[in-house]
Amino acid sequence: MDTLKIGRYIQHLRKKAGMTQKELAEKLNISFQAVSKWERGDTLPDTGLLLELCDTLNTTADKLLNGGALAARERTLMRLEDVITGFRYMEDIGKLFGEDSTFFTGMVEGINEKMNIDLLGCLKDPGAREVLYAEVLIQGILSGRTVEMDEIEAGFRSKKMVETIRRYLAKAGESDGNAE
C-alpha cells in the first residue's frame, strides 16, 4: 500500500468536504495529529476507524486504500462448455415450444436481425456453429470477462478461432493491466 497516495487522497476528500483536520478528527473522536499523520503518509487509519472514516469522507474502503483508484475487479470466467449449453438450450426452446411458436421465432428473428446472420443455418453447420461460440466468447471478453485458453484450445477445431480469441484476450489484458 502506498501510504503517501492514501494520505493525499484522504486530504483531498477532507478538503472537498470542506473540513479542517480538526473537524475531521472531532467527527472520528481522535486527535487532529492522527489525521495529519495519515495525510503525510506517516501512518494509516486504524482498521476500527476505517468504515467510519469512509462514511465521513463519502468513499469506500477499497477506494480509500487504493489512494482513490478503483480496485481492479475480478474478471468473471466464461466457460466454453456453458456457451455450448446455452446454444443447446436455444435449440431446445424450438423443440419444447414448437419452431413456429412466437417465443422461438421471436428469439431467432431477433438474433438474426441484430447479428445479421441465419442462426438456424449456423447451428446446423459445425464450422459456423464454432464461429458462433467464438463470437459469444469474444463479446464476453470485450465486456470484461475472461476465458481459459487451455479450454479454448482443446474445445475448438479451428485454429483461426483459437488465435482470434487469444488476440482479444491479450488485448483485454493489456487494457486493464492484467494480461492473461
Per residue in 94-114, pLDDT (tens digit) is: 999 999 999 999 999 999 998
Mean pLDDT of the chain: 90
Q: What is the pLDDT of residue 65?
A: 86
- C-alpha cell at position 21: 483536520
What is the torsional sign of CA 26, 27, 31, 37?
Answer: negative
pLDDT given for residue 174 in this prediction: 61
Please indicate, yes or no, whether residues 110 and 155 belong to a single structural domain of this protein: yes
Asked if residue 71 is part of any domain, the answer here is no
Boundaries of domain holding 138: 80-176
Whether 73 is in a domain gets the answer: no
- Reply yes or no on whether the pLDDT at 44 is more than 70: yes
Report pLDDT digits (tens) over 133-157: 999 999 998 888 899 999 999 999 9
The residue among 38, 65, 92 that closes a domain is: 65
Look at residue 70 and tell me whether its pLDDT is greater than 80: no
DSSP type of residue 101: S
Domains in the chain, number: 2
pLDDT band at 178 (very low <50, low <70, confident <90, very high): very low
pTM flag (> 0.75): no
CA 63 to chain centre: 16
Q: Among the residues of 29-142, which ranges form H helices?
A: 32-40, 47-57, 61-65, 80-97, 102-115, 119-124, 126-142
pLDDT at 180 over 70: no
